[in-house]
Amino acid sequence: MIRSFRDTTPTIGANSYIDETAVVIGDVIVGENSSVWPLTVIRGDINIIRIGNNTNIQDGSVLHVTHRGDYSPDGAELHIGNDVTIGHKVLLHGCRIGNQCLIGMGSIITDNAVIEDQVMVGSGSLVPPGKTLESGFLYLGNPVTRKRELSEREIEYLSYVAEHYRLLTEEY
């Protein structure tokens, strides 16, 4: 379901798939060839959400933001890059995720955290507010810690899985 809020309607890019059970509200832009899977909520009601091209947001994920106000003058926008895979039941809140990332199932990424390009966040991880995860590494834990450098095969996998979901989207 795509819903307007405060006279702003989400913009969905060409060839993108939004499942009929997903809810996308307000100031949200979803890029081209991206997908939003069943029971996902993307609520751009009090700040903006931007999702890049060839990015997939998997089942049961929740994406939200922080408003601008006395306690957070800039608020916290949510930005997701291109070729990103957001696993099942991920919570993203007011963070920035670069290109070619994989956020593992059940992970939580909080306000003003920055995930640079080509990062894997292991399933069930917690990224605390304001933490930056550097490009080219695997992070895991609660709170996350850097475990090791990504292998060349893992870096290739980041593009592969994004492309897999783009192709699956064509069938839907």
Instruction: Provide mean pLDDT across the span 14-31.
Output: 97
pLDDT, averaged across the chain:
97
Instruction: Locate 148 and state its tokens.
Output: 């090791």
pLDDT (tens digit per residue) in 140-152: 999 999 999 999 9
Q: Provide the number of structural domains found in the chain.
A: 1
Backbone angles phi, psi at 131, to 5 degrees: -75, 140
Instruction: Provide mean pLDDT across the span 120-145.
Output: 98
What distance, in Å, lies between the first and last C-alpha atoms of the chain? Answer: 16
At 144 the pLDDT is 98
pLDDT (tens digit per residue) in 49-105: 999 999 999 999 999 999 998 988 889 999 999 999 999 999 999 999 999 999 999
Domain that holds residue 152: 2-171
CB atoms within 10 A of CB 4: 11
- Whether residue 161 is predicted with pLDDT greater than 90 in this model: the reply is yes
- Whether residue 132 is predicted with pLDDT greater than 90 in this model: the reply is yes
- Whether residue 172 is predicted with pLDDT greater than 90 in this model: the reply is no
CATH code of 154's domain: 2.160.10.10
User: For residues 85 and 90, what is the distance between their CA atoms, to the nearest angstrom?
Assistant: 10
pTM of the model: 0.96
